[in-house]
Amino acid sequence: MEALLNLDGGILLFLQDAVRNPVLNPIMTVITSLGNAGIIWILLTAALLIPKKTRKIGCMSACALLASLLFNNILLKNLVARVRPYNAIEALIPIISKPSEYSFPSGHAGSSFASAWVLYRKLPKKYGIWAAILAALISFSRLYVGVHYPSDVLAGILVGIGCSYVGEWVVLQLEKRRLRKKPEE
């Protein structure tokens, strides 16, 4: 565990000292804010719910986002109760306002991959790949701005991907149930 903590801290300090710069700082700050409260994914999901052609994908994304909220933000964050890296690593200086909730797992990474992984798998690749790229950028931005450990982000990504399958499964189960109840014509 000590080795993981040292590796996590070393990566964050490397990013702070060798990668952060005046050009990337405002870009990464904007990218990280896209994930605040899952807003970009909620908006994309809402847009997918409007046309009948993409409504099922929108429902899968909505269920995945709800699962991510439950698993990442409500259950795991409070169960693990990991302090933020800027509270544990004296030399680390975040470049955004300090979040008040616990660090593990990253809710931004979780919600990003919960929705993006549904979109990546279910939309045409020319759209899905952009969702996956945005999710990766949002996830990396949490390290760049100094508010999450790499292991927080990795856990958020893995749980988010798992939630994408949960969202798909829930929608397919509801669809099967609806079809069974439909009177035969």
Q: What is the pLDDT of residue 156?
A: 97
User: May I ask the CATH architecture of the domain 2-179?
Assistant: Orthogonal Bundle (1.10)
Reply yes or no on whether the pLDDT at 23 is more than 70: yes
For residue range 52-108, what is the model confidence (pLDDT) as tens digits?
999 999 999 999 999 999 999 999 999 999 999 999 899 999 999 999 899 999 999
pTM higher than the cut 0.85 = yes
Reply yes or no on whether the pLDDT at 34 is more than 90: yes
Residues 6+ apart with CB under 8 A from 11: 143, 150
Helix 107-122 / helix 125-144 crossing angle, nearest 10 deg: 170
Query: Which helix (H) or strand (E) segment is 41 a member of?
Result: helix 39-49
User: What letters, b where the CB count within 10 A reaches 16 and e where it falls short, cover 110-135?
Assistant: bbbbbbbbbbbbbbeeeebeebbebb
Query: Which helix (H) or strand (E) segment is 14 a member of?
Result: helix 2-14
Reply yes or no on whether the pLDDT at 185 is more than 70: no
Q: What is the four-CA torsion angle of 164, 168, 132, 151, rounded to 10 degrees?
A: 10
Report the first-to-last Cα separation within the chain, whole angstroms. Answer: 62
For residue range 115-133, what is the model confidence (pLDDT) as tens digits?
999 999 999 999 999 999 9
pLDDT band at 151 (very low <50, low <70, confident <90, very high): very high
